Chains A and B, each alone.
Chain A
Amino acid sequence: MKIIWKIIKESWKVLIIASILSSIGGFGLKTIQEKLVIFLPLLIALPALNDMIGDFGTIITAKFTTSLFEGKIKKPLIKSYFVKHLFKDIMPIALFMAVYISLLSVLVALFMGFETNFVFFLKMLLITLVSTASLVILIFLVAIIGGYKVYKNKEDPDDILIPITTSIADLGTMIIFSGLIYLLF
């Protein structure tokens, strides 16, 4: 029973805040709802992009937390071998997957009868690449610096930093995504 209450106590506040932040993102989506419905590839790409950036929050936090518990992390954090190595793994994957999301969502939309052209694809690529690169860097910093502080406070970074990084990913994706759609379309 002790574990249950420890998990609930550590998680409930941050989960509510994270979920509310994402719901605020829902208002952002509502403002571009018409464009999302008209430009089908954007609607198809949104959950995948959102997921992917959130996934990196979970991966970075989970791997960093396990390494902290195993005593592998030494200060200064950003210069430590583990952190540099993790960044070298994550960033190329993130950019590659951003290209894949653009390509796949345009292809699926074409298959569903959406008419498109090369300029549309380039704009779409720009939106996914800018959103991905900026948010992955932000999430990386938050997960590493925040994770270390949470660990020092004798709490489990998995319970606190995963909701925080994924909500940054969610809200950030919706803000950048909505902003770029508003500017480019």
Chain B
Amino acid sequence: MVEATMNYDEAISKFDPVLGLEVHVELGTNTKMFCGCSTVFGAPPNTQVCPVCLGLPGALPALNKIGVESAIRIGLALNCEIAEWCRFARKNYFYPDMPKNFQTSQYDEPIAFEGYLDVEIDTDEGRKTFRVPIERAHMEEDTGKNSHVGGATGRIHGADYSLVDYNRAGIPLIEIVTKPITGTGKYAPEVAKAYVAALRDILRGLGVSDVKMEQGSLRCDVNLSLRETPESKLGTRSETKNVNSLRSVERAVRYEVSRHAARLAAGDTVVQETRHWHEDTGISTSGRAKSDAEDYRYFPEPDLLPIAPSREWVEELRAALPENPAVRRARLVADWGLSEIDMNTVVNSGALDLIVEAVDAGVDPAAARKWWTGELSRIANDRGIELEELPVTPAHLKRLEELISAGSLNDKLARQALEGVIVGEGDIDEIVKARGLAVVSDDGPLLAAIDEALAADPAVAETIKSGKLAAAGSVVGAVMKATRGQADAARVRELLFEKLGVSE
């Protein structure tokens, strides 16, 4: 059922939104949280399972230390305190995707707590920083995946039958929960999106997850409530599940603000419930009612020992953290002399790390940026692959730039050389040699080609002489064509003007 909504601007003029974001991150560990099964995505159903992650009678969990280490690193990167002592807990509820009918999670003793993440967004008053308070980051295991076959909704109710794939069961998850985010006003959708984007960049920088929202390795639940004024007490919240793209995070917040506002303005109450986000239609629909009385009967997991990370270990991990992506971005903008808009282009193209690598290898930042956001992005796009998958190394770009500045390659020839790299013809020098790529800088053949071009179009010489220098373009073009692109266009132009006695 589609519910009534209020125009967003009107809604925000009447109410103050309060956000809460819960993000689940699948860690990129080789093995699951409590057993040795592989975590590789996309294997045939139920092939990456064992007695432990299937919850067979008698099986016991054994803790993945890398999972704990990743959780601590995430906590540190989010400015959290790291618990000196914490435990796992069992979250008890019956659902067929959960092998043990309890999830091994953390309850009142999370490994990381009390942090924050600063995010920047564009506002009417320019760029502004919002501090998102983080309540906790805790460890847990993922569930299996149900597929409901038959029925109209793809949900369990009304399905003919259901299949369960337990490959995902037991994959380590970190759940990162914010405190209520207040003070965003009309920017709530942008803050939500910027937070998830910043979190994604941090997690990618830590190398703890592949953070692919479309594959579910980063999943976001959006909690939202409205209140009349920032001084009013918190309103009833809705929890919109599985908002699985950055764009959807923004849209879901916007939609829920409009929906809550319509209800409240009409004198209705907001129902505390779980809602499902529909990426295609851009609306949410009601899921199960979620009352505060929902009882998971949490208690400390007796099959696992408490975790007490030593302060030395925590400090070691802190010292080894990579630079915060936002700080790094600001540094690169300054170092490379870019505008914010140029930097956005770079970041959105997904080429930032590749450009940094090339620059570190000695390539001029402007040139590295030009290649990765231009020609190479086009090629990757045409082939439907990621930039990282192209076989182009910083060394290739470095050699290419050397040849260009030495004048032995021009832009067009350089592109041909890169094409050679991509199809696997060897290194730049081998390709240049094999393909015979070299700028023709000997004036003799160029003059001959100019004569030929002028002879083919007798009127053009007079046109140029009369001062219409732009007409030179057609002659240069003809010469380039005749030399199959290997001429130095600037030299051709010089020679032409010399010959016609014209000066620029």
| Chains A and B come from one and the same complex | no
Q: Show the binding face of A for B, using Cβ within 8 Å.
A: none
